């Protein structure tokens, strides 16, 4: 089985209609139809992911030949190539921009045995279908699908089966607009800690520690507790073996239901189960002691995990307490245009350390940046070129609060969605209209009219 998943079905809801008024594009999107909650749940287990099914619907409606549809497909592919690097736990507030389809993607390290918790919520009033796809990054940066879903409010978990990196892509349907919050965190995949009343704080000796003067390494973790403390089943499973060995003393082996994992409990003072017995999480298997080669140490449980075909695994990620993502401090700047106080470059990760790898896009101080996400003290911004990365929140100034200049238009001026000759017009401003110039990208100026009309124009 590739993953474990716990979907919070109470929070799933039917797919709403898309928002926006883009003429024929909107009319075509409406024919894509709605998806019921049951259909959304079923899509989690189908070979075709919701994202792939939506892309097929765009093709069937002819939207893949229109500029917006092509941009959506390009953004989906780009999200798989150029992911931002984050560290779990991670929380970011983001912004969907209707006039410019985009996909946010995040790459993060995982360890075998830990559970990844993905939680996405949309701001009140945001009606959009959002596609979430998780991949394992394989050899040569190949992507192996793990889990896919789509819904209005999304909350699910999956278990990492290998050490490595995962990539999560987040992409809304066409014309989606509004704010969202994404949280990624790691949790223990074992449902119960193996020593009653203890947590990972009681672990005193870890995986890989030297044993017998370096002749071997510790294949497990030692959980310290008073003699007689119950050692309990961390998962549902079947007891396959009990006995006594020179190293482990009194031991119990437990085969997990539904997984090729075998849990090993050693140095027990007493064994309270027999081979063939089926147990539930929390059932007592034995009592903590110091039998075997632990007789000269204080009582503790040696806890190990062995997987068929792979041997011993580090148990700590299986039992490590979850960490809560840090909430984003400061004002909500999502959807706002800002500029750098001084010229700089995008960063690929939100930690913004001095040695962080800079992205390919150099940023001039006059360049307007659209804030599409916030994480801690970093802003995820999009350049006029479409490049996305992080900048420090303290290093920007609000473009509207500090425009490059103010002027009155000398003639009727069309404003466009993007600073390109082929970008669609989003409005027109009459001669004499007072505008603020929020930024500059080559020959184009980002202007804002008196009623909030914002777009690109050649002045």
Both tokens assigned to 197: 């009343």
Cα separation, 384 vs 369, in Å, equals 7
With CA atoms as reference, report the closest residue to 168 among 79, 58, 102, 250: 79
pLDDT per residue over 123-173, tens digit each?
888 888 999 999 999 888 899 999 998 876 689 999 999 999 999 999 999
**Environment class of 34 (CB within 10 Å of its CB; exposed 0-12, middle 13-18, buried 19+):** exposed
The single residue listed with the structure tokens 């959506």 is 72
Share the mean pLDDT of the chain: 85
CATH number of 9-188: 2.60.120.380
405-457 matches 337-398 in CATH topology: yes
Contact 168, 120 (CB under 8 A): no
More confident call, 184 vs 358: 184
* Mean pLDDT confidence for 390-402: 93
Instruction: Report the pLDDT value the prediction gives residue 153, as an integer from 0 to 100.
Output: 66
CATH number of 337-398: 2.30.30.40
Region of 155 on the Ramachandran plot (φ > 0 left; ψ -120 to 50 alpha; else beta): beta
pLDDT greater than 50 at residue 37: no
Contact 288, 303 (CB under 8 A): no
Query: Which CATH topology does 405-457 take?
Result: SH3 type barrels. (2.30.30)
Cα separation, 2 vs 338, in Å, equals 43
Instruction: Report the pLDDT value the prediction gives residue 41, as an integer from 0 to 100.
Output: 44
**Environment class of 82 (CB within 10 Å of its CB; exposed 0-12, middle 13-18, buried 19+):** middle
Cα separation, 116 vs 88, in Å, equals 9
* Mean pLDDT confidence for 292-314: 93
pLDDT per residue over 215-254, tens digit each?
677 889 999 999 999 999 999 999 999 999 999 999 999 9
Cα separation, 278 vs 238, in Å, equals 4
pLDDT per residue over 203-213, tens digit each?
988 877 766 66
Contact 166, 87 (CB under 8 A): no
Instruction: Report the pLDDT value the prediction gives residue 267, as an integer from 0 to 100.
Output: 97
pLDDT per residue over 369-393, tens digit each?
999 888 878 898 999 988 888 999 9
Pick the CATH number of 200-319 from 2.70.70.10, 1.10.3720.10, 3.30.360.10, 3.40.50.10470: 2.70.70.10
Contact 166, 116 (CB under 8 A): yes
Cα separation, 416 vs 33, in Å, equals 30
Both tokens assigned to 174: 């066409």
Length, in residues, of the chain: 459
Sheet holding 413-416, edge to edge: 405-408, 434-441, 444-448, 454-457, 413-416, 425-429
| 272 band by pLDDT with thresholds 50, 70 and 90 | very high
| 38 band by pLDDT with thresholds 50, 70 and 90 | very low
Say what percent of the chain tops pLDDT 70. Answer: 85
With CA atoms as reference, report the closest residue to 414 among 449, 382, 381: 449
Instruction: Report the pLDDT value the prediction gives residue 159, as an integer from 0 to 100.
Output: 95
Q: Where are the domains of the chain?
A: 9-188, 200-319, 337-398, 405-457
pLDDT greater than 60 at residue 45: no
Instruction: Report the pLDDT value the prediction gives residue 214, as an integer from 0 to 100.
Output: 60
């Amino acid at each position: 089985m590739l993953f474990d998943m716990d979907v919070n079905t109470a929070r799933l809801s039917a797919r709403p209609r898309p928002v926006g008024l883009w003429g024929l594009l909107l009319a075509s999107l409406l024919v894509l139809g709605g998806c019921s909650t049951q259909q959304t749940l079923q899509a989690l287990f189908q070979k075709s992911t919701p994202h792939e099914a939506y892309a097929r619907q765009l093709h069937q409606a002819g939207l893949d030949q229109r500029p917006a549809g092509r941009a959506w497909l390009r953004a989906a592919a780009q999200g798989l190539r150029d992911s931002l690097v984050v560290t779990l736990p991670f929380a970011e507030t983001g912004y969907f921009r209707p006039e410019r389809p985009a996909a946010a993607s995040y790459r993060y390290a995982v360890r075998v045995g830990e559970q990844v918790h993905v939680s996405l919520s949309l701001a009140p009033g945001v009606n959009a279908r959002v596609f979430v796809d998780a991949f394992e990054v394989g050899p040569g940066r190949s992507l192996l699908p793990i889990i896919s879903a789509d819904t209005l409010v999304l909350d699910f978990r999956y278990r990492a089966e290998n050490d490595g990196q995962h990539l999560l892509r987040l992409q809304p349907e066409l014309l989606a607009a509004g704010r969202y919050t994404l949280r990624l965190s790691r949790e223990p995949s074992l449902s119960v800690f193996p020593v009653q009343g203890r947590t990972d704080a009681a672990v005193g000796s870890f995986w890989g520690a030297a044993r017998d003067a370096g002749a071997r390494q510790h294949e497990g973790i030692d959980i310290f507790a008073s003699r007689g403390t119950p050692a309990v089943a961390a998962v549902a499973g079947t007891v396959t073996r009990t006995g006594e060995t020179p190293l482990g003393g009194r031991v119990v082996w437990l085969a997990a239901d539904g997984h090729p994992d075998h849990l090993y409990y050693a140095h027990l003072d007493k064994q309270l189960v027999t081979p063939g017995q089926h147990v539930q999480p929390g059932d007592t298997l034995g009592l903590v002691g110091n039998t075997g080669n632990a007789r000269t140490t204080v009582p503790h449980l040696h806890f190990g995990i062995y997987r068929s075909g792979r041997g011993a695994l580090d148990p700590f990620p299986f039992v490590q307490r979850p960490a809560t993502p840090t909430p984003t401090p400061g004002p909500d700047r999502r959807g706002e245009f800002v500029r750098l106080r001084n010229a700089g470059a995008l960063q690929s990760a939100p930690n913004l350390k001095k040695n962080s790898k800079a992205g390919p896009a150099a940023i001039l101080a006059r360049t307007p940046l659209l804030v599409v996400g916030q994480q801690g003290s970093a802003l995820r911004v999009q350049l006029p070129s479409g490049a996305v990365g992080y900048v420090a929140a303290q290093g920007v100034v609000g473009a509207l609060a500090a425009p490059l200049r103010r002027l009155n238009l000398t003639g009727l001026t069309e404003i466009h969605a993007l600073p390109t000759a082929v970008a669609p017009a989003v409005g027109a401003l009459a001669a004499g209209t007072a505008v603020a110039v929020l930024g500059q990208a080559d020959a184009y100026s980002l202007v804002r009219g008196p009623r909030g009309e914002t777009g690109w124009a050649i002045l």
